[in-house]
Amino acid sequence: MLIALFPGDGIGPEIVAQAKRVLDALAIDGLTYEEGLVGGAAYKAVGHPLPPETLDIAKRADAILFGAVGDPDCDSLERHLRPEQAILGLRKELGLFSNLRPAKVFPELAHESALKPEVAGSIDLLIVRETNGDVYFGEKGFRTTADGLREGYDIMSYNEAEVRRIAHAGFQAARARRGKLCSVDKANVLETSQLWRDVVIEVSAEYPDVALTHMYVDNAAMQLVRNPGQFDVIVTGNLFGDILSDQASMCVGSIGMLASATLNGSGQGLYEPIHGSAPDIAGQGKANPLATILSAAMMLRYSLNLSDPADRIEAAVAKALADGARSPDLGGTMNTVEMGDAVLAAL
C-alpha cells in the first residue's frame, strides 16, 4: 500500500517527520512511501504549488499524509500559484469531498481551553464538512460594475448530488456515534442552503434511527460556545465547515492536537492536522507533532483498514500526554522531536 508523504510548508516537514517515525516503529508489512512537493515549497522549487509529479503520486496512493501549506512569501502571487491551491487542488482532483474533523478533549488538556473545564470537557463532536463544492469552487473573478467600479465575485452553489453524498456521510457517521445529526446552513437567506436543507431532509428518510436537526450557521457559532456538548455530528458545507471546525477545534484547547481526514468515494483519503503551517515557528522545533501523528492513525483506520495499529497510536498519544509530554502550545517545553520520542516510548 502506497502512502504519499506531502510535508509542505512551515512546520510541515518537522511534524510529518515525527508521524513517519511512529509509522516506521509499527513496522507494518507492505507500506511504501513516496514523498512529494506541495505548497509554497513546491512553488519555490518547481514553480507550481501542486506540480504534476505530486498529483501523480497522490492519484496512485492509497492515502496521503499531509503536513500543512501556507507561506507568507507567496501571498501576493496570482491565486492559482498560491500554496493553498495545493490542498484545494488535491481535494478537487481526487474528489475528496468528505472532510471529517473530530473534536474531543483529552482530559489532561481540558484546562488549556479558554472554555470552562466542564464545558470543554463536554465536547465530543465530529464535523463532517463538504470539501468539493460551495463558494470555494464556483466561478470567481473580478469585473467592473456599470458604474465603472472594481468588483470581486464568487458564485456559491450546491447541486442535489453533492448534497446527497455528504448528507449520507453525515448520517452514517451519526449512526456510528450517538445517533444525532445537526445540519448547519443559512436557509433563511441563501438558496444554496435551502437546496441543502431540502436534500438533507430527503436523505433523512433512509436514516430513521438518526435524529436530525437543522441550525442556522450564526446560531451554530453561538451554540458551539454556549453548549458544545449538545452536538454529536454536524454536517455542513465547505465555507461554514471551515469556520465552525476551526472554532470547535479551539474550544477543546490546543489546535495542535486535532487530526482530520478527507475521503473520496473509493476509500482514498488525505490526512492532515487541522492547524496550519505556522511560519512564525517553522524550523525551530517548537511545533506539536501530535495532530499529525493522530492523522496518521486516522489514515491507518480509514484508508488502509488497519485499525489495530491505529488504536495503538492513539493509545500511545494518550499515554504520552498522561506521562506529561507537553510541547509549548500545551504549556510545556518539549520540542518536536522529544514529543515524537514520547509517543515512541509509549508505543
Ligand X SMILES: CC(C)[C@H](C(=O)O)[C@@H](O)C(=O)O
Annotated binding-site residue? 176:
no
Which is nearer to ligand X, 268 or 335 (by Cβ)? 268
Annotated binding-site residue? 82:
no
- Write down the least CB distance from residue 30 to ligand X, Å: 30
Residue 218 exposure: Cα atoms within 13 Å on the Cβ side: 4
Stretch that binds ligand X, among 54-62, 71-79, 82-90, 151-159 (CB under 6 A): 82-90
- Write down the least CB distance from residue 11 to ligand X, Å: 14
- Write down the least CB distance from residue 244 to ligand X, Å: 11
Q: Residue 79, Cβ neighbours under 10 Å: how many?
A: 10
- Contact, 87 vs 261, CB < 8 A? no
C-alpha–C-alpha distance, residues 154 and 98, integer Å? 22
Judged by beta carbon distances under 5 to 8 A according to partner kind, the member of a copy of itself, ligand X, none in contact with residue 222 is a copy of itself
C-alpha–C-alpha distance, residues 298 and 304, integer Å? 9
C-alpha–C-alpha distance, residues 272 and 176, integer Å? 22
C-alpha–C-alpha distance, residues 61 and 277, integer Å? 23
Annotated binding-site residue? 232:
no
For helices 336-346 and 12-25, angle between their N-to-C axes, nearest 10 degrees: 20
Q: Residue 39, Cβ neighbours under 10 Å: how many?
A: 30
Among 93, 154, 191, 218, binds ligand X (CB under 6 A): 218
For residue 163, state whether it binds ligand X (rule: CB under 6 A). Answer: no
- Contact, 153 vs 183, CB < 8 A? no
Which residue among the candidates 43, 136, 207, 302 is catalytic per the annotation?
A: 136
Annotated binding-site residue? 241:
no
For residue 124, state whether it binds a copy of itself (rule: CB under 8 A). Answer: no
Count of chain residues binding a copy of itself (CB under 8 A): 64
Among 63, 68, 255, 270, binds a copy of itself (CB under 8 A): 255
- Whether 218 sits among the annotated catalytic residues: the reply is yes
For residue 190, state whether it binds ligand X (rule: CB under 6 A). Answer: no
Backbone angles phi and psi of 5, in degrees to 5? -105, 115
- Whether 186 sits among the annotated catalytic residues: the reply is yes
Annotated binding-site residue? 281:
yes
Q: Which residues contact 160 (CB under 8 A, 6 or more apart)?
A: 195, 199
Which is nearer to ligand X, 19 or 87 (by Cβ)? 87
Count of chain residues binding ligand X (CB under 6 A): 7
Backbone angles phi and psi of 126, in degrees to 5? -130, 125
Annotated binding-site residue? 286:
yes
Q: Residue 117, Cβ neighbours under 10 Å: how many?
A: 14
For residue 224, state whether it binds a copy of itself (rule: CB under 8 A). Answer: yes
- Contact, 111 vs 119, CB < 8 A? no
Among 73, 107, 159, 213, binds a copy of itself (CB under 8 A): 159
- Contact, 309 vs 28, CB < 8 A? yes
- Whether 24 sits among the annotated catalytic residues: the reply is no
Among 86, 244, 300, 317, binds a copy of itself (CB under 8 A): 244
Q: Residue 204, Cβ neighbours under 10 Å: how many?
A: 17
* 272 closest CA partner among 135, 94, 90, 112: 90
> For the stretch 262-298, what's the b/e string if a residue is b when 16 or more beta carbons lie within 10 angstroms of its beta carbon?
bbbeeebbbbbbbbbbbbebbeebbbbbbbbbbbbbb
For residue 190, state whether it binds a copy of itself (rule: CB under 8 A). Answer: yes
For residue 155, state whether it binds a copy of itself (rule: CB under 8 A). Answer: yes
Which residue among the candidates 218, 308, 311, 323 is catalytic per the annotation?
A: 218
The 3-state DSSP class for residue 246 equals: helix
For residue 145, state whether it binds a copy of itself (rule: CB under 8 A). Answer: yes
Residues that constitute the known binding site for Mg(2+): 218, 242, 246
List of residues contacting a copy of itself (CB under 8 A)? 70, 79, 82, 84, 88, 114-116, 119, 135-136, 138, 140-142, 145, 147, 149-161, 186, 188-196, 199, 217-219, 221-228, 239-240, 242-247, 249-251, 255
Binding site members = 91, 101, 129, 218, 242, 246, 276-288
Binding site for ligand X (CB under 6 A): 84, 87-88, 188-189, 218, 242
